Structure 1
Amino acid sequence: MRNPRIYTDQPLANDQVVELTDSAANHVGKVLRMKPEEPLILFNGQGSAWQGRIQFVAKKVVTVALAAELNQVTESPLKIHVGQSLSRGERMDYAIQKTTEMGVTEITPLFSERCEVKLNAERQEKRIRHWQQVAISACEQCGLNRVPVIHSPAFVVDWMAQQHSDLKFVLHHRTEKKLEGFDRPETIALLIGPEGGLTQEEITRAESSGFHALALGPRVLRTETAPVTAISVMQYLWGDL
């Protein structure tokens, strides 16, 4: 029997009866077409999950009775903050979805010199909400109980200056430096350029800010592929893969 994971932005506790919010209720009732007495798991992004059972389903109302909190540890011990240069279309969604699946902790969309995406204040707010929902959906699918933080877009030079992780990397193809010889970190900052790549000035600025240049093989990776590849290797070396 299916036991889907559903995100709901509200406090959760043992033996509680929860009325799902509009989006979650719509997903359970209309999309999944679930019925009373069917099981599901609820989580609120704070690190825990609860086994539940549907009590009531109506057009716009779904209530769930929670049992005990589940003892699940799905978060990686490695804390990764990705600075992802903004890209067009579905590429940004892909990067957020897949890095979430790989256990990233924070994501900051970045304006860089070759970034072609322009966002005014209204569009920024809409995109942040959209990207956060992409991350939530990825958590529902992959079993994460803590949703990564999607920060407001920032300029790449400002983001670099604010990073104080144990290890900081700028990924580009103009170097031959590999991911070796580093002590195991607890926190990582990873800078990813746009479709046209970071400029040499941006790379130099990153290196002067303590970022290590990093190449992942002889091939040039796309902007949405690069963070997934890098995080996969880092999770294998220092995380939980």
Structure 2
Amino acid sequence: MTAGETRARLDELRRAATLVYVDDVEAPAVDATDAHHLRHTLRLGPSETVVACDGLGSWRACRLAAPVTSPASGTGVRRRRGDKHGPSETAGSVLEPLEPVGPILCDARPDQPVTVAFAITKGDRPEWTVQKLTELGVDEIVPLVTARTIVRLGPEELQRRAGRLRRVAREAGSQCRRTHLPAVHEPTSFALALTRLPRSAQLAEPGGEALCPTTTAVLVGPEGGWDPAELACGLGTLDLGPTVLRADTAALVAAVLLGAQRAEQLRRAAGQ
């Protein structure tokens, strides 16, 4: 795809009133929650463009169709149990179709995907962190449970927390027009994360090195810092600047550094 074609696609995404995630871009439909958001929160009419996207790179321009009069009427498309998009997990909920007005376009997944793993903090800060990492274009988001993590979660709470963080990423992706949703992992132990991340990953640590050109993943510790055993895991360290950062701020700085390095490397590869 040429630079001009890329800009044209970005312009089309930005001009749309919003982006919604659907299960099937061939026959796009939204659930009752999304339909209510489009009609009553955003107050969109039938003449306004909505982008329907599957979160995997395929998307098309659509318009709102005539509203479904009542879920009891049995009209509409029914959601399958287990579909990955949408806030509802209830099987058989009625979906409202969208009217396609453009062809299906497919965006390739970004080369050199970047990952940020961050230690879970108290309260709703992990949700804020996932929201911002999604907006910044991070491809994989890994909430970490480290030796000094204060928050401890049981198995059921781990699944509930992961579901909530994925919904946050979905909402953020809609706002920032991401055609590829990030992969948001369940909260993961530091030891398990080490087995899944590339050995070129770096630990955010004051006094560390600069970002290595081959680094595509950064791990950010908790407010109390890394445990000595974690620092001795064999990964390189990364200095995020001269000030003491909150854990969630450090995750965003890591994302900006990774994204800027990727963009520059891709520009050089394209000869720009």
State the TM-score bracket (shorter-chain normalisation): 0.7 to 0.9
Indicate the SS of the match to 2:256. Answer: helix
Residue 11 of structure 1 is matched in structure 2 by 24
Deviations 1:193-227 (A, max 9, x none): 1122211221112xx2xx21011221111111112
Residue 98 of structure 1 is matched in structure 2 by 132
| Inter-partner Cα distance in structure 2 for 1:227 and 1:75 | 22
**For the Cα contact (< 8 Å) 1:74–1:145, is it kept in 2?**
no
Query: How do 1:67-146 and structure 2 match up within 5 A?
Result: 67-69=101-103, 71=105, 73=107, 76-146=110-180
Pick closer, same or farther for the CA change 1:152–1:42 going to 2, 3 Å.
same
TM-score (norm 2): 0.75
**Deviation, structure 1 residue 78:** 3.1
Matched, 1:164 2:174: no
| Inter-partner Cα distance in structure 2 for 1:56 and 1:123 | 40
| Inter-partner Cα distance in structure 2 for 1:71 and 1:12 | 10
Pick closer, same or farther for the CA change 1:30–1:118 going to 2, 3 Å.
farther
**Deviation, structure 1 residue 144:** 1.0
| Inter-partner Cα distance in structure 1 for 2:65 and 2:165 | 31
Give the counterpart of 2:228 among 195, 200, 208.
Answer: 200
Indicate the SS of the match to 1:7. Answer: strand
Identity level (%): 25
Give the counterpart of 2:186 among 149, 152, 174.
Answer: 152
Number of residues of Structure 1 aligned to a counterpart in Structure 2: 228
Pick closer, same or farther for the CA change 1:69–1:135 going to 2, 3 Å.
farther
List runs of 5+ in structure 2 lacking aligned partners.
1-14, 72-94, 268-272
Give the counterpart of 1:189 among 217, 227, 238.
Answer: 217
Indicate the SS of the match to 1:122. Answer: helix
Matched to 1:42, the amino acid is: A
Residue 80 of structure 2 is matched in structure 1 by none
**For the Cα contact (< 8 Å) 1:29–1:58, is it kept in 2?**
no
Matched, 1:212 2:246: no
| Inter-partner Cα distance in structure 1 for 2:108 and 2:204 | 27
Pick closer, same or farther for the CA change 1:191–1:157 going to 2, 3 Å.
same
Q: Alignment RMSD, CA only? A: 2.4
**Deviation, structure 1 residue 161:** 2.3
Give the counterpart of 1:31 among 41, 50, 71.
Answer: 41
List runs of 5+ in structure 1 lacking aligned partners.
none
**For the Cα contact (< 8 Å) 1:79–1:105, is it kept in 2?**
yes
| Inter-partner Cα distance in structure 2 for 1:189 and 1:131 | 19
**Deviation, structure 1 residue 178:** 1.9
Indicate the SS of the match to 2:248. Answer: coil
**For the Cα contact (< 8 Å) 1:110–1:153, is it kept in 2?**
yes
Indicate the SS of the match to 2:191. Answer: helix
Structure with the higher helix share, 1 or 2: 2
Residue 40 of structure 1 is matched in structure 2 by 50
TM-score (norm 1): 0.84
**For the Cα contact (< 8 Å) 2:22–2:52, is it kept in 1?**
no
| Inter-partner Cα distance in structure 1 for 2:63 and 2:252 | 35
Matched to 2:236, the amino acid is: H
| Inter-partner Cα distance in structure 1 for 2:160 and 2:237 | 33
